[in-house]
Amino acid sequence: MDLNLLGLFVAVAETGSFSEAARKLGLPKSSVSRGVASLEASVGAQLLHRTTRHVSLSTAGAALYERAAPLLASLREAVGTLPEREEAPSGKLRITAPNDMGATFLPEVIARFTARYPSVSVDCRLTNLNVDLVAEGFDLALRASGAKLADSSLMVRRLGTIDVQLFASPTYLARRGTPRTPEDLAHHDFVAFRGLKYLSELGLSEKNARVLADDMLFMRETVKAGVGIASLPTFLAQADVTSGQLVRVLPRYTQRSTTFVLLYPRTQHVPRKVSAFRDFLLDFLGGRPLSAHPNAG
* Type and span of the H or E element at 21: helix 18-25
**pLDDT value of position 292:** 47
32: number of Cβ within 10 Å: 24
Q: What is the DSSP string of 54-88?
A: -EEE-HHHHHHHHHHHHHHHHHHHHHHT-GGGSSS
Type of residue at 60 = A
**Which numeric CATH code is attached to 163-257?**
3.40.190.10
Its pTM stands at 0.61
**pLDDT value of position 53:** 74
Q: What residue segments make up the domains of the chain, in order of their start?
A: 3-81, 91-161+259-292, 163-257
Any idea what DSSP says for residue 130? -
CATH architecture of the domain formed by 91-161+259-292: 3-Layer(aba) Sandwich (3.40)
**pLDDT value of position 149:** 55
**Which numeric CATH code is attached to 3-81?**
1.10.10.10
- The reply to whether 163-257 shares the fold of 3-81 is no
**pLDDT value of position 166:** 93
Residue 48: phi and psi, rounded to 5, are -130, 140
Residues with Cβ within 8 Å of residue 139, at least 6 apart in sequence:
93, 94, 95, 133, 264, 265, 271, 273, 274, 277
10-residue averages of pLDDT along the chain (297 residues): 79 87 84 88 87 83 86 74 65 92 88 93 91 89 68 79 90 95 90 78 79 91 95 90 94 75 85 91 72 42
How many residues make up the chain in this entry?
Answer: 297
Query: In 3D, which of 244, 218, 276 has the Cα closest to residue 86?
Result: 276
